[in-house]
Structure 1
């Protein structure tokens, strides 16, 4: 038996969700301004989902083909202000470690490839940008907050999930990355 929401109830639920999202963004920005973390870190739990995605150059990436180096899977979208704010620090970390040691894959969530390419060009981003036009990769990896980053060790095992905006050049991120590179 199907259940249908009255159009006004559906609109009300949408507006309530939008208000909560806006409040979360404001609170996150206030936390950053106060020097507090605007992110949460949790250990990875569960199986390792497959990852197969095509980047903006047409190259297919598979997680199982990246063993031997640590990987950051960063799920983002250009409409997400915290995503845009953290992206330069992801680029800096990728440049610092080099892709043979730490590979940062920026997985764009449900946007037209032209939009992702335009964002990369306008910001000088040279990270591989993988496309997730239907959101299948994000769903498989349990991503519900943007940005979210999954830290994957050199053996291909996810170790941690970081939800929210992070300064990847900061002390906390340096500890996570050093631990990741040792595993």
Structure 2
């Protein structure tokens, strides 16, 4: 390769790497890049008795959230997830809540008591939780429209905070 060809090659490679990194959105503190490939599909009932399949969410970002009523941080962040649900249209961001190993009465009573109107799936036997392996509760995964897990947040968050709202707005508009 002559000098001019090498320079041109270097410019092209540099431009491509800059363009690729520009499309990567940097998450705020507490959310980490977590690229593990395709999201594992599951089928679970919600508290209204309807069946839900994760694969049905293709084409939109998914906020996949594992929680339990006995979990203190889960209790604290539930109202902020409600605000998140009110901020984003269901066609832009699908909020999928999975209660881990509790019965329907416990889930319904808890959500009613804290005045949260976000539907939740019931993983009563804990099998979906075992497959996804959240490292504690609450744990949230953000899945892109192609069905790939991209981000993870372990522990409670103030999801209604503008830092998180703006981050998710960037994701869904990208």
Given the two structures, how large is their TM-score scaled by the length of structure 2? 0.77
Could you tell me which of 69, 87, 98 is aligned with 1:78? Answer: 69
Greater C-alpha radius of gyration: 2
Equivalence for 2:143? 152
Residue 117 of structure 1, CA deviation: 0.5
Task: Give, in whole Å, the separation in 1 of the partners of 2:172 and 2:144.
Answer: 7
1:113-132 counterparts in 2 under 5 A? 113-132=104-123
Task: Give, in whole Å, the separation in 2 of the partners of 1:155 and 1:40.
Answer: 20
Equivalence for 1:168? 159
Could you tell me which of 115, 126, 133 is aligned with 1:142? Answer: 133
Q: Secondary structure at the match of 1:115?
A: helix
Equivalence for 1:87? 78
Q: Secondary structure at the match of 1:155?
A: coil
Consecutive unaligned residues of structure 1, counting only runs of 5 or more, are: 1-36
Pair 1:62-2:53 in alignment? yes
Q: Secondary structure at the match of 2:77?
A: helix
Q: Secondary structure at the match of 1:121?
A: helix
CA RMSD of aligned residues (A): 1.9
1:3-42 counterparts in 2 under 5 A? 39=30, 41-42=32-33
Deviations, residues 38-57 of structure 1 (Å, cap 9, x unaligned): 94524232442112111011
**Quick one: higher RCO (CA 8 Å, sep 6+), 1 or 2?**
2
Task: Give, in whole Å, the separation in 2 of the partners of 1:140 and 1:176.
Answer: 27
Consecutive unaligned residues of structure 2, counting only runs of 5 or more, are: 1-27
